[in-house]
Amino acid sequence: MSLPHFTPRQLNAFIAAAELSTFTAAARRLNLTPSGISTLIAELENNLGFPLFDRTTRRMALTAAGRRFLPEAMSVQRQISRAGYAAIDIRDSAAEVISVAAPMAVAATMLPRAIAAFRASRPATTVRILDTGVEWLADRVSTGEADLAVGPDREFPADVERIALRESRWVLWMAPDHPLARLSVVPWAELAGFDLVAAGRDHEHSVRPRLPPGSAAAAIAPSQIVENLSTALGLAAAGVAVSFSPDYIGTLAAGLGVVARPLVEPTVSRVLCLYRRQTEHRDRGLERFCDHLEQMLGDGGAGGRGVGAERQAAGA
């Protein structure tokens, strides 16, 4: 029995659609059209002999076979990426390359400054950012696609170590002339009656479980959910809605002209974390960069309420 054939472009389309849950978002990531993504995935499904997505649901979801195939597809993608980067490194004679997975808000604001500061003393080191959704950060470290990941606290595989960098409270973002901007702090219950836009699954995973069941705060729900935080902040800046997120994205928010008010009753916090593989043998260059990130992004270097360098292993 011959093995199925597939191309890197088909795998890239499948992985992007699986991570982002829509062909439209996957098309934006890969600079293709939604129909192009659909065609690539249809070709891949035909070559594999089984469907990858359940298209009968309102929101596109992986089939059981798709979920089983995804880790293998990501492993192939990782090997292809590594081979490409290795070729560039050989060509350019780079002394060391470190890859860091991060969500958009971190990748666009915190990491570039940290990388610039590190390169000032170690110019031979190349640090590459892998734009990654929050839910996939630790997985990319576990599979070896990324050396490190920086992002919010989430579940992580057993072979990954999580280092807490800083605690960041949830705040409300809005236009300066929004009625809620007159308050110094905003109780969650005050959001009733206002359009609330959330990014990704933040409210479902990071906020709702921390609100007292049956309370007025727990009854608050987003009226709209978008894929990207920048979209949510843009809607807030235009006065169309209000949005919320941890205050560590303040640099990104400030550029859009929104103002922040702490959310209270209750106060909800998120921890910004560093993820890396657990191993007995540490690469010295990678260790130096980890220490640098802890100093730059931790409570002492980036502001906010620090939680120290708490280290956790999965299941600990």
Look at residue 302 and tell me whether its pLDDT is greater than 80. Answer: no
The better pLDDT of the pair 105, 60 is held by 105
Q: What is the pLDDT of residue 310?
A: 43
Report residue 41's pLDDT band, with 50, 70 and 90 as the boundaries: very high
Q: 287, 281, 245, 224: which is closest to 104 by C-alpha?
A: 245
For residue 159, give both structure tokens: 């072979």
* pLDDT one-digit tens code per residue, 130-143: 999 888 899 999 98
Burial 34-70 (b: 16+ CB within 10 A, else e): eebbbebbeebbeebeebbbeeeeeebebeeebeebb
Q: Are the C-beta atoms of 274 and 298 separated by less than 8 Å?
A: no
Establish whether domains 94-166+271-313 and 167-269 are of one fold. yes
Sign of CA dihedral 218, 222, 228, 230: negative
pLDDT above 70 as % of the chain: 90
pLDDT exceeds 90 at position 69: yes
ω before 213 within 30° of 0 (cis)? no
Apex 260 CA angle, 256 and 265, nearest 5: 150
Q: What is the mean pLDDT of residues 211-229?
A: 87
Between residues 184 and 201, which one has the greater pLDDT?
184
Rounded to two decimals, the pTM is: 0.66
* Yes or no: domain 167-269 corresponds to CATH 3.40.190.10: yes
Q: How far apart are CA 47 and CA 232, in angstroms?
A: 38
CATH number of 8-74: 1.10.10.10
Instruction: Sketch the domain layout of the chain as residue ranges.
Output: 8-74, 94-166+271-313, 167-269
Q: How many CB atoms lie within 10 A of CB 220?
A: 20
Tens of pLDDT, residue by residue over 73-130, are: 998 988 888 888 777 766 655 557 899 999 988 998 899 999 999 988 888 788 999 9
Q: Mean pLDDT over all residues of the chain?
A: 86
* Reported CATH class of domain 94-166+271-313: alpha beta
Structure tokens at 193: 């009656």
